[in-house]
């Protein structure tokens, strides 16, 4: 249980740090947010828990393929905000697009040899 609490606390601290940095400097906050810190931590935790190189390699490859459908959200949200849409509307639209693209990746990807 302590191990889980340490993992959760460290991951939460990263998210909190990103929001504080972004409040002071949106560009630097975006840089820190774009770093794959959570993915790296996830790989470290997975390695610690399993020490299975095949599982870790599969996880890293699947993470790559799931990052791609999330990227358009970072274009849609600012476009909607700059065109007068409210924050929640823009965020929900960006998340809905991301979910649709995740589903598309899950169903279409395997047809092109992408294993998730």
Q: What is the pLDDT of residues 17-45, one digit of tens each?
A: 889 999 999 888 888 888 888 889 889 99
Say how far apart CA 108 and CA 116 lie, in whole Å: 11
Distance CA 40, CA 18 (A): 16
70 has pLDDT over 90: yes
| Range in 25-34, 87-96, 98-107 the model is least confident about | 25-34
Euclidean distance between CA atoms 36 and 76, whole angstroms = 21
Mean pLDDT on 81-106:
96
Looking at residue 14, its pLDDT comes to 87
Interval 56-61 mean pLDDT: 94
Predicted pLDDT of residue 60: 94
At 116 the pLDDT is 82
Worst-scoring range by mean pLDDT, 27-36, 73-82, 91-100?
27-36
């Amino acid at each position: 249980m302590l191990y889980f609490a340490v993992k959760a606390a460290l991951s939460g601290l990263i998210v909190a740090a990103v929001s504080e940095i972004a409040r002071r400097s949106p560009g630097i906050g975006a840089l820190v947010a774009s770093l794959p810190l959570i993915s790296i931590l996830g790989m470290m935790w997975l390695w610690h828990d399993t020490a299975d190189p095949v599982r870790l390699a599969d996880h890293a490859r699947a993470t790559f393929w799931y990052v791609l459908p999330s990227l358009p959200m970072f274009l849609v949200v600012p476009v909607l905000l700059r065109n007068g849409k409210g924050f929640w509307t823009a965020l929900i639209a960006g998340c809905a697009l991301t979910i649709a693209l995740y589903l598309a990746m899950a169903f279409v990807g395997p047809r092109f040899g992408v294993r998730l």
